[in-house]
């Protein structure tokens, strides 16, 4: 009985240089929403900017903490992959129904 999912005849190829860097970056950033990834890269390039995500529906306001946590986690991963020591910061502003993000 065969229990392995790995085929008996496999071939590995060496990855180096840009190909390896690209693969590592992709693995670190897997699962991050494309908008969060784009915002994180932009914030890293321009530390004087911030981003605002408007909580436009009652459902978003109800789930604001989970949304803020997703932003924070994603931005931390972007900063770790592409940054030079910057830290992702978020602020949940219930009064204005928004999440503010920036890098320090």
pLDDT of 32: 85
CB atoms within 10 A of CB 98: 15
Round to whole Å and give the CA distance between 37 and 75. Answer: 7
Q: Domain residues for 57?
A: 33-103
Does residue 84 form part of some domain?
yes
Does residue 61 form part of some domain?
yes
Does residue 40 form part of some domain?
yes
Does residue 80 form part of some domain?
yes
Round to whole Å and give the CA distance between 56 and 64. Answer: 11
Does residue 27 form part of some domain?
no
Whether the CB-CB separation of 70 and 85 falls below 8 Å is answered with no
Looking at the structure of the chain, the number of domains it has is 1
Average pLDDT along the chain, 104 residues, taken 10 residues at a time: 60 64 70 87 88 91 93 91 88 94 92
pTM, two decimals, is 0.71
With a CB cutoff of 8 Å and minimum separation 6, the contacts of 75 are 36, 39, 40, 43, 88, 90, 101, 103
Say whether 7 sits in a helix, a strand or coil.
coil
């Amino acid at each position: 009985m065969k229990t392995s999912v790995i085929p008996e005849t496999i071939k590995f190829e060496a990855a180096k240089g840009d190909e390896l860097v690209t693969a590592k970056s992709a693995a670190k950033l897997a699962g991050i929403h494309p908008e969060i990834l784009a915002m994180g890269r932009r914030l890293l390039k321009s530390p004087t900017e911030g981003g605002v995500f408007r909580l436009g529906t009652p459902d978003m306001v109800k789930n604001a903490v989970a949304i803020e946590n997703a932003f924070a986690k994603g931005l931390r991963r972007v900063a770790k992959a592409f940054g030079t020591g910057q830290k992702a910061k978020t602020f949940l502003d219930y009064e204005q129904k928004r999440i503010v993000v920036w890098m320090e």
